[in-house]
Structure 1
C-alpha cells in the first residue's frame, strides 16, 4: 500500500471516529459531564498519551521559532476548537452539528484563497454558495424550531468550531512537513492543556465521577482514545501526503454516519429540513471538488498547446 493510499485510508477512518464522536459526546453532556469537564478531560488525557508516545518512541526536538505556530495550531485544532464545539453540542443535536461541521471543505478553500494558497473560481463560488445555504438552513431552522432551548446558539457555536478546525488544517500543514505527526500532536495537546487547565480545572473537581455509569465510562473512553488520540493521529499523518482541502473533503461522510448512529440511539430523528440541508451541503462540496478537475485539465491542455507551438 503506497503512501497516498495509506493517507486516504487514515483520513477516512478518522472521519468515521469523528462522526461517532457526535453521538458519544452528546450522551455525556450535560447529563454526566459539563462541557468544560469533558473538554479538559479529553484534551488532558490525550496530551498524556501523546507525550508518553513521543518520549518513548519519537524523541524529536522542535525549533523555538515554531513554538508560535504550534500554539496557533493548538488554539485552532484542540483547545479553542474542542471547547467551542462541546459548548455548542450541549444545545444542538448530533445530526445538526454534523451537517454544520461538513462545511469544513468550503471554509478551508476560502481561508486558503485569502492566504493566497488557492483561488476561487466561478465554479467554486457556486459550490460555496450552495454549501453555505445548507448550513444556513440548518442554523435558522434549528433556531426557529427550538429558539427557547438555545438551539440557535448551539448551531452557531458548532459552526465557529468548524471554522476553527478549517484554520487548523491550513496552519498545521507546514508543521507536519517538518516534524513527526506524534511530535506536533503532543505539543499541540500539551500547550492546550496548560492554557485551559487554569480556567477549566474546577470542572474536573466539581464532577461527580462516581455517578458515571459503565456505559458513560465507555463513551468517555471512546471520546478520548478513539475520537481524539486515534483520530488526530490519522489526520496528522494524512497531512504529510494530502492537501488540507483534500483532507477536509472527507468530512462530508460525517453527517451520514452521525445521523445513522444518533437515530439508532434515540438521540435524534430525521425530517425533510435535515435531508435538504445535507443535500445542499453535499452538492456544494461536490461542485467545489470537481472544479479542481477542470483546473487540472486546463493546465494540462495549456501545457500541450505550448509544447505544440514550439
Structure 2
C-alpha cells in the first residue's frame, strides 16, 4: 500500500498544529470542571455526537460528504484503528484525569506525540537532521526538569493516582495509533471527511453507556464547560487532521509537545481568577527552566528542514 506524503506547505502545517496545541493545552482544565457534574461516558459521547452533527452540517452544505464509492476503497482495518484509537484515547484520558490532575494528565499524555513522531520516522520514512535530533534531546531534558515535581508525586502517590496515570499511558498509545492511521487515510478522503466518519462511529460506540438525561440538570457553569469541550473537539481535531495533510507527522508531534506548558499556565490563570474551582498547582524555578528548554527543543524540531 502506498504511503501518504505531505504537501510540503510547512507554514500552514505549523499554523494548524499551533491551533490544535493551544486548544488541547487548555482542554484538561475544562474537562476537570465538567467531571464535577457528569460521568466519563456521557462527556465522551456528547463531545463526539456534537462534533459529528456540526461537522456533518458543514460538509452537507459544501456538498462534501464522503461518497459511498470512496468508502469502499478504504481498508477496513485502517479505519478501525483510527476509530478505536480515538475512542479509547478519549475514554482513557478522562478516566485517568478523574483520578489524577490536569497537569499530570497532560504530562503523561505527551507520550502520545513522542510515539507519533517515532511512528512518522519508522512508517512514513520521515527524516531528522542532526539539529533536530539535538532538539529532541533538549525537549526531553526540558520535560524532565519541568515535570520534576510531578514525577516525585507519582513516586509517592496513592494507588488511585498511580492507576489513573497508567490509564493515561494507555490513552497515549491508542492516540498515537489513531494519529498515524489518520495520516494514511488522507490518501482516500479529506481530513474533515475522515473526522466526520470517526466522530459518528465513536458516538455510536458510546451511546449505550451515555446518560443524556443528565444534560438537563447541568448548571450554567458546567453546561458552559461541556460546550467548550465539545467545540474544542471539533476545532482542535480538525486543525490537527488538516496539519497532517501539509506537514510531516514527526514535526507536527514536536509542536504538540508544547501542550503541557499551556495546561500549567491555564491552571495558574484559573486558580487565580476562580480560586475554589480547581486545586492549585505550583511551578518551581527549575520548572521554568524546563519550560524554556521544551520550547527551544520543540521549535528546533518543528522548523528544521528535511535532509
TM-score between the two structures when normalised by the length of structure 2:
0.79
Match of residue 172 from structure 1: 182
- Which of the pair has more CA radius of gyration? 1
Q: Is the 8 A contact 1:130 1:283 kept in 2?
A: no
CA distance in 1, matches of 2:290, 2:171: 18
Tell me the CA shift for residue 259 of structure 1: 0.8
Name which of 52, 76, 82 aligns with 1:73.
Answer: 82
| Partner of residue 281 from structure 2, selected from 253, 269, 281 | 269
**Kept in 2: contact 1:46–1:224 (CA 8 A):** yes
Report the Cα distance in structure 1 between the residues aligned to 2:245 and 2:229, rounded to whole angstroms. Answer: 25
Tell me, yes or no, if the aligned pair for 2:258 and 2:295 is still in contact at 8 Å. no
Q: Indicate whether 1:237 and 2:242 are aligned.
A: yes
Given that 2:121 and 2:127 are in contact with CA atoms closer than 8 Å, whether structure 1 keeps it comes out as yes
Q: Could you tell me how far 1:246 is from its partner in structure 2? A: 1.3
**Matched residues in 1 for 2:289 and 2:39: separation?**
29
Mark the CA change 1:96 to 1:211 in structure 2 (over 3 Å): closer, same or farther.
same
Structure 2: which 5+ residue stretches go unaligned? 1-7, 272-277
Q: Residue 138 of structure 1 contacts residue 274 of structure 1 at CA under 8 Å; is this kept in 2? A: no
Please say if 1:44 is aligned against 2:49: yes
Are the counterparts in 1 of residues 140 and 294 from structure 2 also a CA contact under 8 Å? no
Measure the CA separation in 2 of the matches of 1:260 and 1:68.
Answer: 39
1:6-85 alignment, distance < 5 Å: 6-29=12-35, 31-57=36-62, 58-61=64-67, 62-66=70-74, 67-76=76-85, 78-85=86-93
Select which of 108, 119, 125 maps to 1:117. 125
Deviation at 1:236, TM superposition (A): 1.4
Aligned to 2:212: 204
- Write out per-residue CA displacement over residues 8-43 of structure 1, whole angstroms, 9 at most, x where no aligned residue: 2121111111111110111111x1011111111111
1:154/1:277 CA distance change after superposition, 3 Å: farther
SS of equivalent to 1:196: helix
Aligned length: 286
Q: 1:147 to 1:274 in 2, by over 3 A?
A: farther
Q: Is 1:250 equivalent to 2:248 in the alignment?
A: no
Return 62-71 or 132-141, whichever deviates more: 132-141
Alignment partner of 1:101 is 2:109? yes
Unaligned ranges ≥5, structure 1: 297-310
- CA RMSD across the alignment: 3.3
Displacement after TM superposition at 1:65 (Å): 3.6
Compare the two structures and name the one with the higher helix fraction: 1
| Offset at residue 186 of structure 1 (A) | 0.5
3-state SS, counterpart of residue 27 of structure 1: helix
Determine helix, strand or coil for the equivalent of 2:245: coil
1:179 Cα deviation after fit:
1.5
- Normalised to the residue count of structure 1, the TM-score between the two structures is 0.78
- Return the alpha-carbon distance in structure 2 between the equivalents of residues 60 and 154 of structure 1: 38
Bigger mean CA deviation after superposition, 253-262 or 96-105? 96-105
Q: Deviations over 1:94-118 (max 9, x none)?
A: 1112222233332123334554735
Bigger shift: residues 107-116 or 227-236: 107-116
